[in-house]
Structure 1
Amino acid sequence: MKKKILPYLLLTPMILIMGVLVFYPIIATFSYSLKKWKLTAPGDIHFVGLKNYLDIFQSDSFWYSLQNTLFILIVVVVLTTIIGYLTAMFLNIKTKWSGVLLALAVLPWALPPFVNGILWKFVFFSGYGFLNKLLIGFGIISKPIEFLSSRWTLLFVVSIVVVWRSIPFMALVCLAGRQSIPEELYEAAKMDGGTMTIISRYITMPLMRPFLAVGITSASVTAINVFDEIVALSGYSDLGKNILMESYLTTFTFLNFGKGSAMTYIVMFFALILGVFYLRSLNREVEY
Structure 2
Amino acid sequence: MHILYIDESGDTGQLPAQPGANDQPVFVIGALIVDAAKIGDLTRDFIDLKTRFYPGLVGECNKHLDRILPEIKGADLRRNALRGRHNVRRHAVGFLSKLLLILQAHDVRLLSRVWVKPLGQRFDGRAVYTSSIQWLYSSFENFLHDQDSLGFCIADSRDPLNNAIVAHSVFTQKFQSSSAAYGRTLELPTFAHSENHAGIQLCDIVCSALLYPIAAEAYCSGHVGNIHVQPGAAALRRRFGEELQNLQFRYREPLGKWNGGIVVSDPIGLRNAAGMFALD
TM-score when normalising by structure 1:
0.22
Q: Please identify which structure carries the higher strand content.
A: 2
Q: Please identify which structure carries the higher helix content.
A: 1
TM-score when normalising by structure 2:
0.23
Higher-Rg structure is 1
